[in-house]
Amino acid sequence: MASKETLAVKKEPPLSYMQHPSPSVSYYIPPSAASVDKNSSNSNDPELILVLSWMGARDVHIAKYIAQHRALFPSSRILLIRSPASHVFWPSLARKHIPPAIRVLKQFAEPETAAPSNGGKPRVLLHILSNGGVSTAARIRELLRKELGRDAAGNRLVIPRYALCLDSCPGNFVWESTHRALLQSLPRWTSPLVHMVIAVAWLIYKLRLTRPAQNLNAEALRRGSLLPRETRRTYLYGTADAVISWRHVEDHAKRAQDSGFKVRKERFEGGEHVSLVRKDSQRYWQAVKETWGGDEVELEAEMLARSNVIKQETIMDG
């Protein structure tokens, strides 16, 4: 009789199919991926999907988002950057972990020219989850600013055009919300210590020595310098979010729209923090797909709807 050890099947880690150049960075290159060249791909998929996870997210949960991206966009590379709580308390650790991702992103940089490349279509789909992802985006921006130089012709290198999905973010500094967010990835017994850390930060803010990082990062997502690089953005958020108020998200969306960004809002009634997929998975991923495809996907959906109406009218007339 076979032993239990013989019968036992070793379970692979959730993201075992990805490369892991650092504890915070994972990278997936599908067999069907084209070379990193803005003129080489005939696919309508993003050349790169950049996923910036929420703080303390476990791989078993992140894997569900990665799997769906693979299903929707099978020829896309996927770059994942995690946001552990340690990056909040030790920023130097983040600067040590993130560089492998910067090396990947530099491959997609393009010269800043008057005429947008690729007919103005986006090359990258950026999926940011919660303020942890927003914080990672700020670090990436800082590192890329130092790393990107000029091409052989002297043109300044910039990030490629992108479409943006914002899940449960951005939100401003609120004491209780910050405490909940940090405690999601820390033991419960650390609660008093977390309150102490937030108290020190709050005092610094009150003395106007600096401003909350959450507020600064949220404002950075509305900078006019992003307008030439961004095609459209979608805010996905829930009214039952206990970490980031849906009102903060809607206020940010309005300000972004007033600043010239092309904005779409998807409000999930009763949706909780980074749990919108549980509320309505089909609606969530359709919004992501349409954020990428833009007008083409919207037109296709409209034509399909009209076709269904015509079919229904034909059946009724018959």
- Establish if 164 belongs to a structural domain: yes
What is the structure's pLDDT at 234? 99
At 236-256, the pLDDT tens digits run: 999 999 999 999 999 999 999
Q: Is the pLDDT of residue 199 over 80?
A: no
Across the range 8-26, mean pLDDT stands at 88
Q: Is the pLDDT of residue 47 over 90?
A: yes
Query: What is the rounded average pLDDT for all residues in the chain?
Result: 83
Comparison of pLDDT for 312 and 246, the residue scoring more: 246
Q: Which of 32-46, 105-119, 211-225 reaches the highest mean pLDDT?
A: 211-225
- In this structure, are 187 and 222 located in the same domain? no
Residue range of the domain that includes 79: 11-173+213-317
At 106-138, the pLDDT tens digits run: 999 998 875 565 667 899 999 999 999 999 999
Comparison of pLDDT for 243 and 302, the residue scoring more: 243
- In this structure, are 232 and 118 located in the same domain? yes
- In this structure, are 157 and 137 located in the same domain? yes
- In this structure, are 250 and 234 located in the same domain? yes
- Establish if 79 belongs to a structural domain: yes
Q: How confident is the model at residue 217 (pLDDT cuts 50, 70, 90)?
A: confident
What is the structure's pLDDT at 214? 76
Q: How confident is the model at residue 149 (pLDDT cuts 50, 70, 90)?
A: confident
Is residue 62 within 8 Å of 82, Cβ to Cβ? yes
What's the token pair of residue 14?
């959730």
Q: Is the pLDDT of residue 18 over 50?
A: yes
**What is the rounded CA–CA span in Å between residue 8 and residue 211?**
53
- In this structure, are 194 and 163 located in the same domain? no
- Establish if 252 belongs to a structural domain: yes
- Establish if 289 belongs to a structural domain: yes
Comparison of pLDDT for 196 and 110, the residue scoring more: 110
* pTM as predicted: 0.82
- Establish if 2 belongs to a structural domain: no
Last residue within a domain, chosen from 164, 192, 211 = 211
Q: What percentage of the chain has pLDDT greater than the value 90? A: 54
Last residue within a domain, chosen from 211, 231, 261 = 211
The tally of domains found in the chain comes to 2
Q: Provide the 10 A C-beta neighbour count for residue 270.
A: 9
- Establish if 158 belongs to a structural domain: yes
What's the token pair of residue 130?
């919660």
Query: Is beta strand 162-167 parallel, antiparallel or unpaired with respect to 230-238?
Result: parallel
Widest CA span in the chain: 75
Q: Is the pLDDT of residue 164 over 90?
A: yes
- In this structure, are 222 and 304 located in the same domain? yes
Comparison of pLDDT for 175 and 13, the residue scoring more: 13
At 278-292, the pLDDT tens digits run: 999 999 999 999 999
- In this structure, are 201 and 77 located in the same domain? no
- In this structure, are 59 and 120 located in the same domain? yes
- Establish if 3 belongs to a structural domain: no
Q: How confident is the model at residue 201 (pLDDT cuts 50, 70, 90)?
A: low
**Which range is least confidently modeled, 97-111, 142-156, 287-301?**
287-301
**What is the rounded CA–CA span in Å between residue 300 and residue 48?**
23
**CATH number of residue 243's parent domain:** 3.40.50.1820
What is the structure's pLDDT at 88? 76
What's the token pair of residue 137?
């985006």
- In this structure, are 285 and 313 located in the same domain? yes
- In this structure, are 133 and 205 located in the same domain? no
Amino acid at 217: N
Q: How confident is the model at residue 58 (pLDDT cuts 50, 70, 90)?
A: very high
- In this structure, are 53 and 182 located in the same domain? no
- Establish if 5 belongs to a structural domain: no
Q: What percentage of the chain has pLDDT greater than the value 70? A: 72
**What is the rounded CA–CA span in Å between residue 293 and residue 287?**
10
**Which range is least confidently modeled, 15-19, 112-116, 148-152?**
112-116
What is the structure's pLDDT at 269? 97
Collect contacts of 176-185 with beta carbons under 8 A, ≥24 apart: 177/242, 177/243, 177/244, 177/245, 178/214, 180/242, 180/243, 181/55, 181/130, 181/131, 181/132, 181/243, 182/55, 182/85, 182/88, 184/55, 184/56, 184/243, 185/55, 185/56, 185/84, 185/85
- In this structure, are 144 and 250 located in the same domain? yes
